[in-house]
Amino acid sequence: MLLWHLCIKKMQKRTVDGIKNATAAQLDVSDTESLSNLVSQVDVVVSLLPASFHAAIARVCIELKKHLVTASYVDDSMSKLEQAAQGAGVTILCEMGLDPGIDHMLSMKMIDEAHALNGKIKAFTSFCGGLPSPAAANNPLAYKFSWSPAGAIRAGRNPAVYKFLGEIIDVDGSKLYESAKRLRLPELPAFALEHLPNRNSLMYGDLYGISKEASTVYRSTLRYEGFSEIMAILAKIGFFDAENHPLLQETDRPTYRIFLNDLLDVNNVSTSNTKVNGEETGGHDDELISRLMMLGHCKEKELAVKILKTIKFLGLHEETQIPKDCSSAFTVICQRMEQRMAYGHNEQDMVLLHHEVEVEYPDGRPTEKHQATLLEFGKTENGRPTTAMALTVGVPAAIGALLLLQNKVQRKGVIRPLEPEIYIPALEILEASGIKLIERVET
């Protein structure tokens, strides 16, 4: 027990090491008394915990009349606190991160500026993604995880809806990866990207006040080109199925190869591979390629070979036993992705956010395309690495706290950073902190 407490104290010290006026404390958020005691000692609370904890923290903040900042979406549990927060004179500033957060602030700045010049928003498109830097995108999926892959995989199964040229487009969750489209940004010609629709874009037309004027409202997630094609086929094979698999319920654990063979209905006694220049070839590889094409997962052999390389990179063909805590195909691939697709030492991540707003004017001026781009890479300062995602989520949340401490936010209740009183100073502080936003206008 003494050793456990010593370990906790070391972790707490490391958390605040080098940060002035900071004290670390261990807390069980479900312990309302301890939470209230901690909240009572501060003026503003910043919660970067999972979204499911925010409502409980917000209730304590409202009771004690303390402002709160989060980087998470406003969900139903937070929306229900609107009246209580207003009554207490408390600001619950949500969606103050990257996406949501910086995306809101840039959007509203561009839209409000266009409206101030009597412009009408014809189209609004937004692309955002957390990616490995090009040097770190060194696997078949050109992607890496800094957290559990489960959430990212589930996000790739969400349905989506958006408006394009006046038509409402619904995308079934099972077809999301197939809906990915190629993207090239002229100002970033070295990036081969693709985008997938991100859940409900229509609600942003309402939030931004452009639903009636914009014929296109589209928000998307960015990946490097080729990611979605591979993920779609892994889904077809069955790797994203979350139901318990019969093979994984047995005491005798199957190997990854046996499990893969079962998913593809491959003969387990197929001939073994030989190695050429260190690479396995023939036998089992040929049979897997054949099955991928025969089952209709891949129409061309070139794509089947790419899928095989991904399977081998993830070790899904190996003759080692699957751990006991894997009970479904989904948990198997999550475990493999977590092991094989983590960032290595000194590898950088990258954040890319790009907005395009088409503005038309009633006086005959030519339509303008307003663009804003944020490109940020992970950094290492004084030997301490900080990811681009941590910077672009954490800095806006800190700015939100600063604005509340300085009494620069007058609105009370549960709010987003959509008002000039928030986004104007926030974007200025963001740039002053080193996170650069590039804006341009084309006609």
Q: Per-residue pLDDT tens for 307-346?
A: 999 999 999 999 999 999 999 999 999 999 999 999 988 8
The model's confidence at residue 4, banded by pLDDT at 50, 70 and 90, is very low
Mean pLDDT of all residues in 206-227: 97
Q: Whole-angstrom Cα distance, residue 261 to residue 428?
A: 56
The pLDDT of residue 345 is 85
pTM value is 0.89
Position of tokens 């394009």? 164
Q: Which amino acid is at 420?
A: P
The pLDDT of residue 26 is 86
Nearest CA-CA partner of 400 in 59, 56, 38, 72: 72
Q: Per-residue pLDDT tens for 277-308?
A: 445 556 789 999 999 999 999 999 999 999 99
The pLDDT of residue 13 is 66
122 alpha carbon, distance to own chain's centre: 27
**What architecture is domain 2-93?**
3-Layer(aba) Sandwich (3.40)
Q: Per-residue pLDDT tens for 93-121?
A: 999 999 999 999 999 999 999 999 999 99
Q: Whole-angstrom Cα distance, residue 123 to residue 218?
A: 8
Q: Whole-angstrom Cα distance, residue 423 to residue 398?
A: 13
Q: Which residues contact 52 (CB under 8 A, 6 or more apart)?
A: none
The model's confidence at residue 141, banded by pLDDT at 50, 70 and 90, is very high
The model's confidence at residue 167, banded by pLDDT at 50, 70 and 90, is very high
**Does residue 352 have a pLDDT over 50?**
yes
Q: Which residues contact 318 (CB under 8 A, 6 or more apart)?
A: 255, 256, 257
The model's confidence at residue 363, banded by pLDDT at 50, 70 and 90, is confident
The HSE-up count of residue 185 (CA atoms within 13 Å, CB side) is 24
The model's confidence at residue 216, banded by pLDDT at 50, 70 and 90, is very high
Question: Of how many residues is the chain composed?
Answer: 443
Residues marked active site are found at: 99
Q: What is the mean pLDDT of the chain?
A: 91
CATH number, domain 240-268+284-341: 1.10.1870
The pLDDT of residue 384 is 79
Looking at the chain, the whole-number percentage of residues with pLDDT higher than 90 is: 79
DSSP string across 343-395: PPTT--EEEEEEEEEEEE-TTSPPPEEEEEEEEEE-EEETTEEE-HHHHHHHH
The model's confidence at residue 268, banded by pLDDT at 50, 70 and 90, is low
* Cα angle: 291, vertex 292, 293; to 5 degrees: 90
- B/e letters for 404-426, b = 16+ CB within 10 Å, e = fewer, are beeeebeebbbbbbbeeebbebb
Q: Where are the domains of the chain?
A: 2-93, 102-136+158-228+345-384+419-442, 240-268+284-341
The model's confidence at residue 275, banded by pLDDT at 50, 70 and 90, is very low
The model's confidence at residue 21, banded by pLDDT at 50, 70 and 90, is confident
- Both tokens of 100, joined, read 């949501």
The pLDDT of residue 9 is 52
**What architecture is domain 102-136+158-228+345-384+419-442?**
2-Layer Sandwich (3.30)
Q: Per-residue pLDDT tens for 382-426?
A: 777 889 999 999 999 999 999 999 999 999 999 999 999 999 999
Mean pLDDT of all residues in 218-242: 96
